Amino acid sequence: ETGVTQSPTHLIKTRGQQVTLRCSSQSGHNTVSWYQQALGQGPQFIFQYYREEENGRGNFPPRFSGLQFPNYSSELNVNALELDDSALYLCASSSGQGAGSETQYFGPGTRLLVL
Amino acid sequence: AQSVTQLDSQVPVFEEAPVELRCNYSSSVSVYLFWYVQYPNQGLQLLLKYLSGSTLVESINGFEAEFNKSQTSFHLRKPSVHISDTAEYFCAVSLRGYKLSFGAGTTVTVRA
């Protein structure tokens, strides 16, 4: 069974640029959630996708957007990068539609540095 | 909205000593509770979770956590730690919804 994978592992961008992060969910999972983890903090929920539809969103501006594909993999896009976007971006997959009780399985993350 | 407070940011502990990581949450409704562990340069792994039933939940590697509804707490304990338990530990809650709300984390450093 393949776990959650994310690419790239590290990324350096400059302010104002755009970035796309990718996530492959664990086999059998149809739900993907994205989190931002700033240095020294806990992960913050960005949004969740269930069967290609956005299923909930945290307190992030519209320049954070996402997609989920028919194979349940997902992308996180961030436009107009700001210095504060520097963080570890975590993808988590799960099965079910956000009952809250299901376990979310996390990938290793993509570390983004904005200069 | 629910929030999570982890009362200790850093916990140094000697090998084979017990450890307790404290977590309090605020919510006006019932929640599900989780503890995740993050080893250096890795993603988060589920340690244990409380959904309902017995208030004491255990993990396969010797950790346990007790749900206390009156004190809105979900403290994590291990009676004897190993060097390999050095990691960051996150408490999280979810409502009957979709997102996990995490605390700021507790860094556990186990010394020989």
Quickly count: other Cβ atoms within 10 Å of residue A75's Cβ: 17
Tell me, what's the pLDDT at B55?
84
Tell me, what's the pLDDT at B85?
96
B17 CB near a chain A CB, below 8 Å?
no
With beta carbons under 8 A apart, name residues in chain A contacting B44.
Answer: 43, 90, 92, 106
Distance CA B36, CA B84 (A): 15
Report chain B's mean pLDDT, rounded to a whole number.
90
Are A40 and B98 in contact (CB < 8 Å)? no
With beta carbons under 8 A apart, name residues in chain A contacting B103.
Answer: 42
Q: Which residue has the higher pLDDT, B60 or B64?
A: B64
DSSP assignment letter at B49: E
Residue whose entry in the numeric block shows the structure tokens 């919510």 = B27
pLDDT at B99 over 90: no
pLDDT at A98 over 70: no
With beta carbons under 8 A apart, name residues in chain B contacting A4.
Answer: 43
Which residue, among A104, A105, A113, has the nearest Cα to A38 in the 3D structure? A113
In total, the C-beta contacts within 8 angstroms joining chain A to chain B are: 67
- What's the average model confidence in pLDDT over B42-47? 91
Looking at residue A99, its amino acid is A
- What's the average model confidence in pLDDT over A47-52? 91
- What's the average model confidence in pLDDT over B64-92? 95
**Interface-testing mutation among B32, B98, B106, with chain A (most A C-beta atoms within 10 A):** B98
Tell me, what's the pLDDT at A18?
98
Point out the residue among B4, B49, B97 whose CB comes nearest to the CB of A103: B49
Point out the residue among B96, B97, B104 whose CB comes nearest to the CB of A56: B97
Tell me, what's the pLDDT at A96?
73
Tell me how long chain A is. 115
Q: Which residue has the higher pLDDT, B15 or B97?
A: B15
Confidence of residue B80 (pLDDT cuts 50, 70, 90): very high
Minimum mean pLDDT among A4-18, A96-110, B20-34, B65-79: which range? A96-110
CB-based contacts of B91, cutoff 8 Å, min separation 6: B4, B6, B21, B23, B25, B33, B34, B35, B74, B76, B102, B103
Q: What is the 3-state secondary structure (H, E, C) of B30-41?
A: CCEEEEEEECCC
B101 three-state secondary structure? strand
Confidence of residue A10 (pLDDT cuts 50, 70, 90): very high
Report residue A26 as tokens: 């664990």
With beta carbons under 8 A apart, name residues in chain B contacting A56.
Answer: 97-99
Q: What is the 3-state secondary structure (H, E, C) of chain A?
A: CCCCEEECCEEEECCCCCEEEEEECCCCCCEEEEEEECCCCCCEEEEEEECCEEEEECCCCCCEEEEECCCCCEEEEECCCCHHHCEEEEEEEECCCCCCCCCCEECCCEEEEEC
B7 CB near a chain A CB, below 8 Å?
no
With beta carbons under 8 A apart, name residues in chain A contacting B97.
Answer: 56, 98, 100
